[in-house]
Structure 1
Amino acid sequence: MSQTAPYSKDPRIHVDADQLVRLGPRARALSLLPRQPARSILNGRHASRLRGRGLNFEELRGYLPGDDIRTIDWKVTARTGDPHVRVYTEERDRPALLLVDQRVSMFFGTVAYMKSVIAAEAAAIAAHRVLGQGDRVGGLVFSDTSVAEHRPQRRATALTRLLSSIAAANSALHAGLTPEPTVYLNDMLTEAARVCQTSGLICLFSDCDGLDDRSEALLRRLAASNDLIVFNVADPTSHSLALDLKLTVSDGDAQIEIDSSDPELSAKIRASMEDRLEQLHKWSRRYGFPVVPLTTSEPALDQLMRLFGHGGARR
C-alpha cells in the first residue's frame, strides 16, 4: 500500500481532481489581469506592465446616442460630414500557461497545508478563471522526474485533463520520496517560452527552489513577450527560523527536527531563503512582473480572494 494511503483523504496534505473542480464557481470573482480593483495586489505599477487582452477592430458605423466620444473616428467624420465611431470587441482566445510545481520540495508544511496543495489549488482557480473568460488554458505540471504538458485549449475537457494531471502529481508526493531530479525549474521556464511564445499569460506556482543566475534571463524573456505572474508559495517558518527553537516538522508520516539554535545551520537556512526571495523581488522590479505571495497557513482561495479582490463583482 502506498505510504500516502492514511493521509490521501486529508485535503491539507493531498488534493484530488474533484476538489479542484469544485473551486470553479468561486473563481468567477477573481481577475488575474487589469483592470484591477483598488485593493488588488496587481493595482498600480505592475498592472500597468501587464498587457491584459487586446482589442479587435470590428466595424466603423454612424454615431449613436450613448456612444463613447473617445471612439469617434475624426478623420472619417470630417470626410463624410457625419460623426462615425470605431467599434472594438475585447480580444478572446488568448493563451494562458500555468506552471505547477509538484516537486518534493513542495511537499512541506508546518501550519495548515502543504505547499504542494496551495500551488495545486491556486493553479486550479486560475485555470477555471482563464477558461471562464473565454481564453485558452494549458499547463506544465512538473515533479522532480516528470513533466505533463497540456497545450492551451479552450475546452472544458482540456480543463478537466489539466486538473486531473495536477491532482495526480500532487497525490504522488509522499515523505518517502527520494528522487534523483531530472527536471529543474529553469527547464520549465525554458519550456514555457517555447509553448507560449508571445502575448500570452504565464503563471508560475512554486516555492521557486532552484532559482539561479540563469533564471534571470529566462524570466526576463518571459516577461518581455508575455504577461508573467509568479505565485511564490512559502511556509511561515521560512521567516521565523531565527528563533531559538527546536522545530519538529512532520507531514504525518516522517518527521525531522531542525535545531534553529544551531547558529551555523540557522544562518545557512535563513540566508538561502532570504537570498532567493530577495533575488526574485529584484528581478520583479527590474522586469515588471508581479510576485504574488501565498502561504501554507490558509486555503489558496481565501488568499486569492483577498489579494486579487472581487474582480468579477463589477464591470
Structure 2
Amino acid sequence: MNNPLPAEPGIRVTLAELIEMRHRVREVQLFSSPGQRSPMAGLHHSKLRGRGVDFDQVRVYQAGDDVRTIDWRVTARTQEPHTKMFHEERERPIFILAEQSRRLFFGSGLMFKSVLAAQAASLIGWAALGHNDRVGGLVFGDHEHYEIKPRRSKQSLLQLLNRLVRVNQSLHTEVQSDRDALGMALIRAREVLRPGSLVIVICDERALTDAAEQQLSLLARHCDLMLLPLSDPLDHALPAAGLLRFAERGAQLELDTLNYDLRQAYRAQGEARIARWELLAQKLRVMLMPLSTQSEMIEQLREYLNAKRPGKPL
C-alpha cells in the first residue's frame, strides 16, 4: 500500500504493531517447551496437540495407557503387555485462517473486531514460528482471499502479517458484505492443506452459516482445528438508549431500544450464536476460544489455556 492510513489504535492495525506482538508471546503459553527433543519437532506436547504423530518407541504397558496403542506383536513375543509411544509429527503446518471483512470493522470495546483478529493471528503466528513450525495462512475479506503457503521462515509469517495489514487498512463501511465469505475460505483451505495440519480459524461470531459449518466439519476429518469466533458486547445485548436510527446505502432502520421485547429477542439471537459455536466444537471435539473486544486479548487466551477444561485436548 503506497499511502498507508495514519495510525488509529484500536481501529486499524499497522505492520509495526503486529511485528511487535512477537515480544508478547512469552505472556501466554500457547505452545509448551520442546524440552530435549529436536527443535524441528514443532508443537510437541503443547496445549494445541493434534492427531499428527510419529511412532517413537515401545515400552511396558502401564495402568492408564490407552489399550488401543498396545503392540500385540511385542506383547506376544515377550508375554508381557507393551504399548506404543508416539510424539507429534515434525514440521507440522500451522494454517491461520483470518477474517478481515466489513462485518469485523466495528467495535464498542477496546478495539474493532478486525484489529482483534489481526492481533490474535499475529500472536499465534509468532508463537508457532518460535517453535519451528511451518506457518502460513489465508486472509479473507468480503470478496477476496490471499493465501500464504506454510513455510518455516520469518519471511512467510511477515507476508501473512503484511497482507493482514493491507486488507485491514482497506476496510470501510461502503463495501457490500459477503455473508458466506468464511465458507468460501474454508473450501480453499481444504484444497491446499495436507492431513495433520493445525488450522486456526479466526472469524466473526456471526460467520457460522450452514455452509461454513459443513466445511468446518469436512476439514476436521483430516486436520485439527482451533476456533476463535470474535464478538463485541453489542453483538449480544442492545443498550437501553432510546430510538436509534441506522442508514446503509439508502436504506434506513429505526430501533426502539427501550422496547423490552426487542432487547430480549436481540439477546436471544446472541445467545443462540454462542450456543451454536459451542455445539459445533463439542461435535467436532476441537478447542473453542471465543474472543471479545471487551477485554485484552492475551488475558483472554491465558484464561482459556490455563483452565482445566473437560474433553479431548487438541
Q: Give the TM-score taking structure 2 as reference length.
A: 0.73
1:245 to 217, 233, 241: 241
Residue identity opposite 1:10 in structure 2: E
Residue 112 of structure 1 and its aligned partner are, at CA, apart by 1.7
Over the aligned positions, Cα root-mean-square deviation in angstroms equals 4.1
Residue 211 of structure 1 and its aligned partner are, at CA, apart by 2.1
Residue identity opposite 1:185 in structure 2: L
Counterpart in the other structure of 1:113: 111
Residue 49 of structure 1 and its aligned partner are, at CA, apart by 11
Give yes or no for contact 1:227–1:289 (8 Å, CA) kept in 2: yes
1:199 to 184, 196, 200: 196
Residue identity opposite 2:175 in structure 1: T
- Any idea what SS the aligned residue of 1:23 has? helix
Q: How far apart, in 1, do the equivalents of 2:200 and 2:139 lie?
A: 12
Q: How far apart, in 2, do the equivalents of 1:182 and 1:231 lie?
A: 18
Q: How far apart, in 2, do the equivalents of 1:239 and 1:182 lie?
A: 19
Indicate whether 1:231 and 2:228 are aligned. yes
> Percent of pairs identical after alignment?
32
Give yes or no for contact 2:29–2:302 (8 Å, CA) kept in 1: no
Q: How far apart, in 2, do the equivalents of 1:91 and 1:30 lie?
A: 23
Q: How far apart, in 2, do the equivalents of 1:270 and 1:101 lie?
A: 24
Q: How far apart, in 2, do the equivalents of 1:200 and 1:17 lie?
A: 26
Residue 246 of structure 1 and its aligned partner are, at CA, apart by 3.5
Indicate whether 1:217 and 2:222 are aligned. no
Once the two structures are superposed, what CA deviation does each residue of 1:255-278 show, in whole Å capped at 9, x if it has no partner? x98542246754554344333222
Q: How many residues align?
A: 280
Q: Which runs of 5+ in 2 are unaligned?
A: 34-44, 63-70, 79-83, 247-252, 308-314
Give yes or no for contact 2:236–2:269 (8 Å, CA) kept in 1: no
- Residue 91 and residue 28 in structure 1: after superposition, are their counterparts in 2 closer, same or farther (change >3 A)? farther
Residue 143 of structure 1 and its aligned partner are, at CA, apart by 1.0
Residue 179 of structure 1 and its aligned partner are, at CA, apart by 2.7
Residue 59 of structure 1 and its aligned partner are, at CA, apart by 8.4
The farther-off stretch of 136-145 and 271-280 is: 271-280
Residue identity opposite 1:167 in structure 2: V
The farther-off stretch of 218-227 and 124-133 is: 218-227
Q: How far apart, in 2, do the equivalents of 1:238 and 1:183 lie?
A: 18
- Any idea what SS the aligned residue of 2:207 has? coil
Residue identity opposite 1:221 in structure 2: L
Residue identity opposite 2:161 in structure 1: L
